Structure 1
Amino acid sequence: MWGMRIFDCVFAVSWCYLVLFAAARVTDPTEVHALLAVKSYLDDPMQHLRNWNKGDPCRSNWTGVLCPATVGTDGHFHVQEIQLLNMNLSGLLAPELGQFSQLLVLDFMWNNLTGSIPKEIGNISTLKLLLLNGNKFTGSLPDELGNLSNLNRLQVDQNEISGQVPKSFANLSRVKHLHLNNNSISGNLPPELSKISSLVHLLLDNNDLSGFLPPEFSNLQNLRILQLDNNNFGGSEIPHSYSNFSKLVKLSLRNCSLQGSIPDLSRIVNLTFLDLSQNHLSGTIPSNKLSEKMTTIDLSDNQLDGPIPRSFSDLPQLETLSLDNNHLNGSVPANIWQNISFNGSTRLVIDLRNNSLSNITGVLNPPVNVTLRLGGNPICNNSNLPKKGVFCALEAGEDLPMNSTNSTVDCQKQSCPIADSYEYVPASPLRCFCAAPLRIGYRLKSPSFTYFPPYIDQFDLYLTSYLNMDPYQMSIESYIHEQGRIKMYLKLYPRVSDPSNRFNDSEVLRIRGLFTTWTFPPNDFFGPYELLNFTLLGPYSNLHFGNEGLRISKGIWAAIILGAIASAVATTTILTILIARHHARHQRVLSRNRPSSRASMKIDGVKTFTFKEVALATENFNSSSKVGQGGYGKVYKGTLPDRTIVAIKRAEEGSLQGQKEFLNEIKLLSRLHHRNLVSLVGYCDDEAEQMLVYEFMPNGTLRDWLSGKAKENLTFSMRLCIALGAAKGILYLHTEANPPVFHRDIKASNILLDSKLNAKVADFGLSRLAPALEEEGTVPHHVSTIVRGTPGYVDPEYLLTHKLTDKSDVYSLGVVFLELLTGMHAISHGKNIVREVKMACQSGLMLSIIDSKMGAYPSDCIEIFASLALCCCNDKPEKRPSMIDVVRELERILKMLPETGTVSSEFTYMHSSKSLSSSSSYSHQGQTGSSWNVLGSDAMSDATLAVSPR
């Protein structure tokens, strides 16, 4: 009753204010209502939208709401942009978004929004930028989005969208950028997309697409980038019509299950980047000369044969040539680098490993900027080969060193004299000029190169020229390669002539507007970009993005204030008293009914269960439903009313540790979604009980299988697939989760197996988020925390320093790999598995401790897997591989197995037939033998945070 009365009073007062504002040329009331509806659907824990109920949206500078300076023909202001980038928002998108009649930009990037994309957005006929990437949207893409005839850019990448690409998208007649990558989109690629004559970038990589590659795509004569990596076009060939792309710069079809031959692409005059690796392509490599602009050619991991084309020697911009893991034969041309002009930052990596190359044409004497890899070829049996150990090592070499200079080295001896948030400008023409920078997170989504240093100055000039800045005003603080993308942190500084040593507010708004409206001139070489964050610290921390500078006149303000002040004071006083009384009474009722130990909460997108529902699902926690028990509590098998089978983890009563793990696991799993992570169905926080409800994994834990509790034994190929699944789940935590996650308790009992023995990582009670950006915009390397985890799996470096890093998870996973190899426990009878395997390896007795339940196996694969496992368990974190390296190596080992999934007799050795040499396990330390680092310096550069050489 009181609630209804309070609501009536609030509504009456609000209506009075709306009437007054309507008389003063204010925002269209329909759009005000829509904005309030948008806010009501959102959860805003950081209170970024706290001013969305104060005054008028267009006149009172509502955060993220931008309007034109003049009213429309109807006498009202209209919202043109909604920019809510990276504000930690969760919840849903309101259908009322479709009520904005003049909206140009809708930006909700890098939040935690869930649910489906409202079909009503298709009603916004004026919309030019729809930016929803980096959330958790599910469901299919609405057909109605095809009605957005003025749309220029659609970004829904890095969500959990499923279903097919709507054929209605063919009606997006003005769209230039379709970024649908990193979702779960399935089905065929609609040939109808070839009707979008304006399309420049088509990114659909990392989905579940199938079918065939539409030949009609060659009609997209303005297309610059076609990126479809990591889909499954099983049996499809690359259409020969693709040689007709007139403006294509980048063609990336990696790991798409493609077959057939490589078409002649020499007529694509601007082609710069070609990646057809990890397919089933066969035949010879076309010998016609490719574009002289080529920087990258990756044809590795196919079934190509024949010679290396001599035309590769005529590519002056080439920096990466990967032909490894094919059936190439003949000679290695020793002059591939002859037309390249090397400088301090230029390099060329030529990877020809694991082919059938038998000799060299010419004298092999590459410059220092060239890395040549020949391991696994007959040519390496030639004792006259110069630098044989360098060229023929199966392990890849190190990256070329990067030069780094810093003009502020003498200035850093003392801090800036102004304030902590100010710093010396690195390249300032005025020595030791101190200023407050703007910090920007920025990512190149599909660059046409694999190695950044040679192009840094060019990139610097590209950005600063359009920002109307001098080159010294921008510094690339750090950058990192991420699976074909380059993520960087930029700092922008004011000019040295600015006496305030900072940007003024209007300049900050101007700069941000250029980044958020994608008005930078197109650059095919650097490709599309995305803004990750625009961090305001120090003197900029109080600046809000709205209609800064748009002010209502004093006369109108006087009229509004005089008309409203009397009623506002009176009603506010009354409402305050009523609300305070009602709130106090409500709190007293709650305090009587709530157990003090509970941690009640509500998380959007996660189903809540009552105690009664969970008890019914488990037959009142019948002992026959119990399937396991751990430090947290007991685990029961349950059946929901819709017959869904679930696993229910019930916390031990009164467990403080359980409470913390309970909250932590819900918060993490509610935003983590990957096929190799156990899914959270919901939770129960009822009647002083805390329970987590997961998808049920019928094959239990990996530890159960290794201990012989399962009915069957795991073959080597099955163990390898389990290792790969677990590694992919952890790779997602380290690189795709936003922010990244350190698991901190990886072990065999936390790797669960579904009905098809697919591995899924579980138990996130001890997990920690990776740290946020530091003041200077770099990513910290570790989290300082008390040591938690399971003995035998804990990283020794973490144990000593309390510094948790991604390499701590790599160590724990390495222990699991050793368990897969030996069947041993991490610690058993005082023996540590890492130490035991190292000793066996050094003694040449590795095969004697391989798990006898594994049956037959190929010893060469065992050697490589053991080497990888021991590298993961290196005492020094910097010598452990990154998770991307681990995944790539596991994928390579799997490809070495027969395609039937069983081990044929000609590759099979029993335990006594061959011993593993100690060198194979320590090949990363400079000895010969098997190697974990398949991609070598390229892979390591992908995982290494590099400092700008400027």
Structure 2
Amino acid sequence: MLKLRVPISALVLSCCYFAYLVEARVTAPSEVNALIAVKSKLVDPMKHLANWEKGDPCTSNWTGVLCNGTVGTDGYLHVYEIQLLNMNLSGSIAPAVAQLSRLQILDFMWNELTGSIPKEIGSIASLRLLLLNGNKLSGSLPDELGYLSKLNRLQVDENQISGPIPKSFASLSSAKHLHLNNNTISGQIPAELSNIATLLHLLLDNNKLAGYLPQEFSLLPVLRILQLDNNNFNGEIPASYGEFPNLAKLSIRNCSLEGSIPDLSQIPNLRFLDLSHNQLSGPIPSNKLSANMTTVDLSNNLLDGSIPASFSDLPSLQRLSLENNSLTGSVPVNIWQNMTFISRKMLIDLQKNSFSNVVGDLNPPENVTLRLGGNPVCSKGNTTNISRFCGNESGDDGTPGNSANSTSCPPQSCPTDNFFEYVPSSPVECFCASPLRIGYRLKSPSFSYFPPYEYPFEVYLTRSLNLELYQLHIDSYAWEGPRMRMYLKLFPEVNVSRTFNEIEVQRIKGIFTSWDFPGDDLYGPYELLNFTLLGPYKTMIFPNQKVNISKGILVAIVLSSIACVTAISAMITFLVTRRKTRYQPSLSRKNLSSKVSMKLEGMKAFTFREMAVATDNFNRSTQVGQGGYGKVYKGNLYDNTVVAVKRAEEGSLQGQKEFLTEIKMLSRLHHRNLVSLVGYCNEEGEQMLVYEFMPNGTLRDWLSGKTKEYLNFSMRLRIALGSAKGILYLHTEAHPPVFHRDIKASNILLDSKLTAKVADFGLSRLAPVLDDEGTVPHHVSTIVKGTPGYLDPEYFLTHKLTDKSDVYSLGVVFLELLTGMQPISHGKNIVREVNMAHRAGMMFSIIDSRMGSYPSECVERFVALALLCCYDNPEKRPSMLDVVRELESILKMMPDADAILSEMASVYSGKSLPSSSSHASMDPYISSSVSGSDLISGVVPTVTPR
């Protein structure tokens, strides 16, 4: 037998040679280089793209790279899709992406990319979907994007893009969806966009657009949704907007529009109309709107006249909001009399108008919420039947408490530790399977209340996915402004398998990521927030394509692979035997956490799995904030409790003892005006704190205008009082007392009723206790920590932290409430600025105009209190008890004090502040029954902040 002796060097050369031949027959070299260039500009902390640059993109399953399985006429495979949805990527988009000349889908949704959108993308003539929403991209929209004649969908919403909308976008001749909302785009909307004959959805809300509304938009033949909310236009709504041939939703909320409401009765399929928070005047058009109408919101305008009789013939109506106008006449009860209410509710809000009487029997069914407060008909007090509609009760917002599977199934039969669960609607009792978890959001639905449409939506979705109805479970949903987020679970077919196979998972994901759902005017555009693979799906790797390779090439691949393995193994063995390895593995994040079990009485210890499920695997779309400690996520627990999960970054992990100490401290703090700790997680190398969720965000958001709605003076006064009560509890009722040390507007959170709750005790310190001589020091000596602008000058200089340090910080928050200013802005200090204005008699010139009218004497006392809290000498600052007393005294001076006190009485326990200055008997749940304080004499000391 002939024996061949092949040296290692020859094998290596053979390996390289054959690899080159194979690569030359697979992915085009220019596209390989482009992908490598794209990766070089990305930061990938989760190592999702670790397999890039290994092997060939189209045959080695590079993450997110999808290719056509057919070799082109040039002899190469080509990249058709880049799918990098929600991979925690940062960095920027490389201009080299334009070298992917056959690309049809470019998807970077829900990452943290920065920089501008490369103009070179405009040269990818084949591009159909450009999906960049949910990043931090800035700069302007490139004119070159208008060259994409095949582009179907452009999504750049929820970024930081500025500048105008390019007129070149009129050349997007195939575009159906332009989603540019939630940016800072400015300037005039180009009338040329009316040339896009294919346009279905135009979303431009939450920008800084100005100028007039293009009347030419009514020429768009198939436009279904026009959403322009929260911009600053001039002039009127064009009369031509009544001529849209196919419009289903028109939303131009809070846009500074004037003039009259055009006649919209000729729009045959209109379902949703929101023109609220403008300056529209005149009567409401009397012509009958479309019978499909679900929502009519004309609130907060200058409308007069009466309610049109045509409103009584809208059989699908869910919400009629006419509050805060100048409407007169009678309240017609026939609005609801001719309707049937089957799993449907109606809200009729007529508050703050001039309705003087009711025509007919005022006895709406339970499904109808009627609000009449602030009308003359309520002040007459003629019947109890009317007075029950004159309060401020809230209607149902459509947020469900989705019921879990009601079947009683044995828990031990379903391996829940591996993400299995019982299928809620299974035709087979107690069928256990592992679902696909999907975050999904309707971006502009044409309804206000979801339950009547829940079943039709399930039918629509399962038909689109080619699944049985029982395979879909809507785990939860919630409104986010005009959008509705939902979390879906898709289960495999019963009696077939307890998991989906890879082909089926790939098929389902492909439908979502390719936007292959049929259009529906009722549900509007949607977006995929996440497609979470947990449990048995976590390790799935989808093949990008099937490549037809000749037998000869296949043999060459096998031979070259054997040669490469042999050569490389020989070299590694040789090198290893010649050197000693001195390697000490670095501590992983998991090593940082002790395996000692932590159990605290009354405090829930969550598992890492529970936190992953609650936050959809810490999906970026669920992130609601970020601080020095780490990121904060909105989570849904197994019982549908909504929570905020604060997850420590690796660099901020504490030792277990310190972490346990902090939890013990937080577990002792229970007050209406403190954010409650629900539980914690300390496993898998993770440290997490789980708090109650505050749906209205931070006080700083409201003062900065991020919410698009404003707080009036009464609301601000209540927030100030609530914050002070929370801090008073920390100082006087906690055992031992606590100094917060980081009071600021962004650490005051607001719940669904705008009740203030103090949060973030990460820098808090326990107050001093008895020393060896039996005395209590008045301060804690500590390294100065906190936020510039809120820091007590005395604490900054001496490092002595006292309760008066918190009083100073809260005084700065009071000044923010009064002025809307930030503590430090363009080198100016808010304490100094307010003090100078006050001494010059110009205080009212810097009061925040957004809080509307206010009693001047109340504002004067609030200003005096705020400045006294910010006095340089801590001994001259009021105690927190004095602050609370003075705020309650100011509140009692308000014209609507009775209504405010009545509402607050439902929040607090009704107990009074003690008349004594002693804090020992102080009850934290205090009411407004205290008499006025003489704390403020009208003379405010000069404050000289450093």
Tell me if 1:340 matches 2:339: yes
Which shows bigger deviation, 919-928 or 821-830?
A: 821-830
- CA spacing shift, 1:85–1:874, aligned 2, 3 Å: closer
Which one of the candidate residues 524, 534, 556 is aligned to 2:553?
A: 556
Q: Would the aligned equivalents of 2:163 and 2:185 in 1 still touch at CA under 8 Å?
A: yes
Tell me if 1:769 matches 2:632: yes
- TM-score scaled to structure 2, two decimals? 0.67
* Residue 290 of structure 1: how far off its partner (Å): 0.3
Q: Would the aligned equivalents of 1:46 and 1:87 in 2 still touch at CA under 8 Å?
A: yes
What does residue 600 of structure 2 align with? none
What does residue 296 of structure 1 align with? 295
What does residue 66 of structure 1 align with? 66
Which shows bigger deviation, 218-227 or 545-554?
A: 545-554
Name the amino acid aligned to 1:318. L
1-structure distance, mates of 2:340, 2:146: 48
- CA spacing shift, 1:355–1:818, aligned 2, 3 Å: closer
1-structure distance, mates of 2:669, 2:410: 43
Q: Would the aligned equivalents of 1:811 and 1:874 in 2 still touch at CA under 8 Å?
A: no
**Cα RMSD (Å):** 4.4
Question: What's the CA shift string for 1:64-115, capped at 9, x where partnerless?
Answer: 1111221112221111111111111111111111111211111111111111
* Residue 794 of structure 1: how far off its partner (Å): 10
2-structure distance, mates of 1:13, 1:817: 80
2-structure distance, mates of 1:890, 1:253: 29
Higher relative contact order (CA 8 A, sep 6+): 1
* Residue 385 of structure 1: how far off its partner (Å): 3.4
Q: 1:271 aligns to what SS in structure 2? A: coil
Give 1 or 2 for the bigger CA radius of gyration.
2
Q: 1:441 aligns to what SS in structure 2? A: strand
2-structure distance, mates of 1:192, 1:827: 56
What does residue 20 of structure 2 align with? 19
1-structure distance, mates of 2:853, 2:368: 40
What does residue 173 of structure 1 align with? 173
Q: Would the aligned equivalents of 2:321 and 2:348 in 1 still touch at CA under 8 Å?
A: yes
Identity %: 53
- CA spacing shift, 1:907–1:280, aligned 2, 3 Å: farther
Question: What's the CA shift string for 1:159-195, capped at 9, x where partnerless?
Answer: 1111111111011000000000111111110111111
- TM-score scaled to structure 1, two decimals? 0.67
* Residue 371 of structure 1: how far off its partner (Å): 0.3
Name the amino acid aligned to 2:173. S
Q: Would the aligned equivalents of 2:333 and 2:360 in 1 still touch at CA under 8 Å?
A: yes
Q: Would the aligned equivalents of 2:306 and 2:330 in 1 still touch at CA under 8 Å?
A: yes
* Residue 387 of structure 1: how far off its partner (Å): 3.0
Tell me if 1:160 matches 2:160: yes
Q: 2:335 aligns to what SS in structure 1? A: coil
Question: What's the CA shift string for 1:20-65, capped at 9, x where partnerless?
Answer: 2245x31111111111111111111222112222222212222211
* Residue 811 of structure 1: how far off its partner (Å): 9.4
Question: What's the CA shift string for 1:512-561, capped at 9, x where partnerless?
Answer: 11110001110111000000111111221111244155575665333024
- CA spacing shift, 1:53–1:284, aligned 2, 3 Å: same
Q: 2:122 aligns to what SS in structure 1? A: helix
Q: Would the aligned equivalents of 2:223 and 2:247 in 1 still touch at CA under 8 Å?
A: yes
- CA spacing shift, 1:381–1:44, aligned 2, 3 Å: same
2-structure distance, mates of 1:318, 1:542: 47
Which one of the candidate residues 510, 513, 518 is aligned to 1:516?
A: 513
Question: What's the CA shift string for 1:854-893, capped at 9, x where partnerless?
Answer: xxxxxxxxxxx99999933599xxxxxxxxxxx99999xx
Name the amino acid aligned to 2:270. L
Name the amino acid aligned to 1:56. D
Name the amino acid aligned to 1:19. Y
Question: What's the CA shift string for 1:404-428, capped at 9, x where partnerless?
Answer: 6555421255441697322111111
2-structure distance, mates of 1:12, 1:287: 85
Tell me if 1:367 matches 2:230: no
2-structure distance, mates of 1:508, 1:120: 34
What does residue 539 of structure 1 align with? 536
- CA spacing shift, 1:225–1:811, aligned 2, 3 Å: closer
Q: 1:185 aligns to what SS in structure 2? A: strand
Tell me if 1:923 matches 2:903: yes
- CA spacing shift, 1:452–1:570, aligned 2, 3 Å: same
2-structure distance, mates of 1:583, 1:166: 63
Name the amino acid aligned to 2:100. F
What does residue 352 of structure 1 align with? 350
1-structure distance, mates of 2:730, 2:405: 55
Name the amino acid aligned to 2:73. T
1-structure distance, mates of 2:576, 2:81: 35
1-structure distance, mates of 2:170, 2:579: 55
Q: Would the aligned equivalents of 1:58 and 1:65 in 2 still touch at CA under 8 Å?
A: yes
What does residue 473 of structure 2 align with? 475
- The alignment covers a number of residue pairs equal to 706
Q: 2:441 aligns to what SS in structure 1? A: strand
1-structure distance, mates of 2:581, 2:902: 68
Q: Would the aligned equivalents of 1:333 and 1:360 in 2 still touch at CA under 8 Å?
A: yes
What does residue 491 of structure 1 align with? 489
Question: What's the CA shift string for 1:434-489, capped at 9, x where partnerless?
Answer: 11211111110000011111100000000101211111110001111110111111
2-structure distance, mates of 1:431, 1:494: 15
Name the amino acid aligned to 1:140. S
Q: 1:512 aligns to what SS in structure 2? A: helix
Tell me if 1:740 matches 2:620: no
Which one of the candidate residues 521, 526, 534 is aligned to 1:529?
A: 526
Question: What's the CA shift string for 1:684-732, capped at 9, x where partnerless?
Answer: xxxxxxxxxxxxxxxxxxxxxxxxxxxxxxxxxxxxxxxxxxxxxxxxx
Q: Would the aligned equivalents of 2:623 and 2:632 in 1 still touch at CA under 8 Å?
A: yes
- CA spacing shift, 1:444–1:811, aligned 2, 3 Å: closer
* Residue 256 of structure 1: how far off its partner (Å): 0.6
Q: 2:120 aligns to what SS in structure 1? A: helix
Tell me if 1:242 matches 2:241: yes
Which shows bigger deviation, 58-67 or 86-95?
A: 58-67
What does residue 871 of structure 1 align with? 755
Name the amino acid aligned to 1:323. L
What does residue 931 of structure 1 align with? none
Q: Would the aligned equivalents of 2:130 and 2:153 in 1 still touch at CA under 8 Å?
A: yes
Which shows bigger deviation, 27-36 or 406-415?
A: 406-415
Q: Which runs of 5+ in 2 are unaligned?
A: 1-11, 588-617, 648-658, 681-689, 703-714, 735-748, 760-815, 821-844, 862-889, 909-946
1-structure distance, mates of 2:562, 2:411: 57
* Residue 807 of structure 1: how far off its partner (Å): 3.4
Q: 1:86-485, aligned counterparts within 5 Å?
A: 86-233=86-233, 235-343=234-342, 345-397=343-395, 406-411=404-409, 413-416=411-414, 420-485=418-483
Q: 1:470-869, aligned counterparts within 5 Å?
A: 470-498=468-496, 500-547=497-544, 550=547, 555-563=552-560, 565-566=562-563, 570=567, 738-741=621-624, 764-766=627-629, 768-770=631-633, 780=643, 782=645, 786=662, 796=674, 798=676, 803-807=690-694
- CA spacing shift, 1:132–1:575, aligned 2, 3 Å: farther
Q: 1:365 aligns to what SS in structure 2? A: coil
Q: 1:336 aligns to what SS in structure 2? A: helix
Q: 2:388 aligns to what SS in structure 1? A: helix
- CA spacing shift, 1:131–1:890, aligned 2, 3 Å: farther
Q: Would the aligned equivalents of 1:819 and 1:826 in 2 still touch at CA under 8 Å?
A: no
1-structure distance, mates of 2:545, 2:639: 27
Q: Which runs of 5+ in 1 are unaligned?
A: 1-10, 597-734, 744-763, 835-864, 876-886, 929-950
Q: Would the aligned equivalents of 2:372 and 2:390 in 1 still touch at CA under 8 Å?
A: yes
Name the amino acid aligned to 2:81. E
